[in-house]
Structure 1
Amino acid sequence: MLKDFFGKRRKYATIPSEQSKIDVPEGLMQKCHGCNKIYYRKEMKKSLNVCPNCGYHHPMTAWERIDSLFDEGTFREWDKGLTSGNPLDFPGYKEKIAKDREKTTLNEGVVTGKGMIVNHPVAFAVMDSSFRMGSLGSAMGEKIARAIENAKEESIPFIIFTASGGARMQEGMLSLMQMAKTSIAIKRFSDAGGLMISVMTHPTTGGVSASFASIGDYNFAEPGALIGFAGRRIIEQTIREKLPDDFQTAEFQLKHGQLDKVIHRHEMKELLSKLVAMHRREVE
């Protein structure tokens, strides 16, 4: 059965270089960053923020992702009130957090909870890059670790969608500690027989890519997603070599064995539900 999931490799649009800007009426229209075609924003949302012309995958908010995957009315959020502090008294940090809360209506850059995907219960975490670029801080790490522990207690699969620019520098070492904390929670979950599915979206970089994003039982990604630790410029300066044009894309990672599959967003719910159903049958 797994052969059906991973046997075919399809080609999708990848992240393009920056192109010339086109003026678009605010709120009404949306330009595709892949092919520069302009669509009604409602039309793009109906297509799950995937360009109907070139297949470019635009970012989704956490709640757009949840609405696209869970059976209607089944999702229940966990730890909504858990928020970031300012442990290092970093200048301006509180104000930046407050601004992002107002802009996104989120308290932190990840939403966790439990719901049903095609009648199968799963624990869930989805990162939102519009909140502090999805940077990994103490509150985010704690929410993810708690979600994994809840999945372990309820004996249900854990699915995470990652999107991050890396560790949150305003929290210093406390941010880096979240890499170990979440990874340990996943190890305990795995030892108890739990199923973890990781889906990396654009971008998944830095400490997130080097920890919980890459250690699922299944590691997937969306087409064209940037996945890596250090940036292209730093690596090229260090090794003094020119990197391939597709370096650190999801397709590059798949070709080099770092991913199990690149999945089109329109196929995501069906694949996740089949995997969860298959593992439930094996357990039963």
Structure 2
Amino acid sequence: MSWMTEYVRPKLRGLLKREVPDNLWSNCAGCGQMVLNKDLERTRKVCPHCGHHMRALVGERLAWTFDDGAFTRIELPKVPVDPLGFRDQKRYTDRLKDARAKTHLDESMAVAHGKIGGHDAVVAVMAFEFMAGTMGAALGEAFLTAARLAVLQKAPLIVFTASGGARMQEGMVSLMQMPRTTIGVQMLREAGVPYIVVLTNPTTGGVTASFAMLGDVQIAEPDALIGFAGPRVIQDTVRETLPEGFQRSEYLLDHGMIDLIASRGELPEVLGRLIGLLNVRNLPVAQAA
């Protein structure tokens, strides 16, 4: 081999080679395009090529929603851990520890209050990153805490939903959160406090069958999967081909299940305008019986 092959070419390759950080790019699930993470920060995790809304974390939701990203997180009540002593491939307690270490969250819902469009608001955000946003006793307590705070402040409650449904490790305790959260919604209505739901991808299972579909105003992000059972389960059950886009935001809007679809970029303005129209501060608070 010549000196060009043995010496010059390896040197050139070394000069041209660049270390590319693992967190520099993200792959869009909608169109398959590679997108710079810096661009995704600017667009709030919306693909600039196809408009696909990527999954957002709790902290991002709160920062995007409140004015200037300023809010106060609420400490939530503690609940009994592992009431059934559940174990499958791992102990439930170990799964909780792993989820908390990975996400830096205590549970699958976070609650905060602050200003949206200059108006007071209480916001509860479901954390899909925490065990797929599954609903257990802790989420039920978090929702009721958010509802009580909204009544106390006479501020609307806004809930961002993202869930795989009930948490099987808590069995019947998890299923009981469906009526408990429904009672929380009723408490808001009796107090004359607006309840706004923002449905994000995915919102399924017992969450959809309870508080997620009881909003005074139902908003959804574009192309979000919203339903009780998954499309494949339904299709196998009814043994019929489902319509195109079944259980997606646009289909639900066309069939009257939601009120409007709003992209992330316009959502804070939409929420602020809704709160202003509802003018919650001027509404009388119902006296407890």
Fold conserved (TM > 0.5)?
Answer: yes
Alignment partner of 1:52 out of 32, 48, 51: 48
Whole-angstrom distance in 2 between the partners of 1:84 and 1:62: 23
SS of the residue 1:246 aligns to? coil
CA drift at 1:73:
6.0
Whole-angstrom distance in 2 between the partners of 1:165 and 1:70: 26
Whole-angstrom distance in 2 between the partners of 1:130 and 1:25: 23
Contact kept, 8 Å, 1:86 with 1:94, in 2: the verdict is yes
- Mapping 1:1-284, distance limit 5 Å: 26-72=22-68, 74-80=70-76, 82=78, 85-91=81-87, 92-280=91-279, 283=282
Whole-angstrom distance in 2 between the partners of 1:282 and 1:117: 14
Whole-angstrom distance in 2 between the partners of 1:84 and 1:61: 26
Q: Structure 1, residues 218-251: CA drift from partner, whole Å, max 9, x if none?
A: 0110001000001112211211111123111011
List gaps (5 residues or longer) in structure 1.
1-23
Contact kept, 8 Å, 1:81 with 1:107, in 2: the verdict is no
CA drift at 1:127:
0.6
CA RMSD of aligned residues (A): 1.6
Whole-angstrom distance in 1 between the partners of 2:143 and 2:227: 20
Whole-angstrom distance in 1 between the partners of 2:280 and 2:189: 18
Rg larger for: 2
Aligned residues: 261
- CA change 1:277–1:208 in 2 (3 A) is same
Contact kept, 8 Å, 2:253 with 2:261, in 1: the verdict is yes
Percentage of pairs with the same residue: 42
Letter in 1 for 2:260: K
Whole-angstrom distance in 1 between the partners of 2:100 and 2:238: 40
CA drift at 1:201:
0.1
* 25-34 vs 86-95, which moves further: 25-34
Whole-angstrom distance in 2 between the partners of 1:245 and 1:108: 35
SS of the residue 2:39 aligns to? helix
Contact kept, 8 Å, 2:108 with 2:131, in 1: the verdict is yes
List gaps (5 residues or longer) in structure 2.
1-19, 284-289
Q: Which residue of structure 2 lines up, in the alignment, with residue 16 of structure 1?
A: none
Whole-angstrom distance in 2 between the partners of 1:104 and 1:94: 15
Contact kept, 8 Å, 2:76 with 2:145, in 1: the verdict is no
Contact kept, 8 Å, 1:82 with 1:107, in 2: the verdict is no
- CA change 1:36–1:213 in 2 (3 A) is same
Contact kept, 8 Å, 2:208 with 2:227, in 1: the verdict is yes
SS of the residue 1:111 aligns to? strand
CA drift at 1:80:
4.5
Contact kept, 8 Å, 2:67 with 2:117, in 1: the verdict is yes
Q: Structure 1, residues 110-151: CA drift from partner, whole Å, max 9, x if none?
A: 110211112211011001101000000000111111110111
Contact kept, 8 Å, 1:133 with 1:164, in 2: the verdict is yes
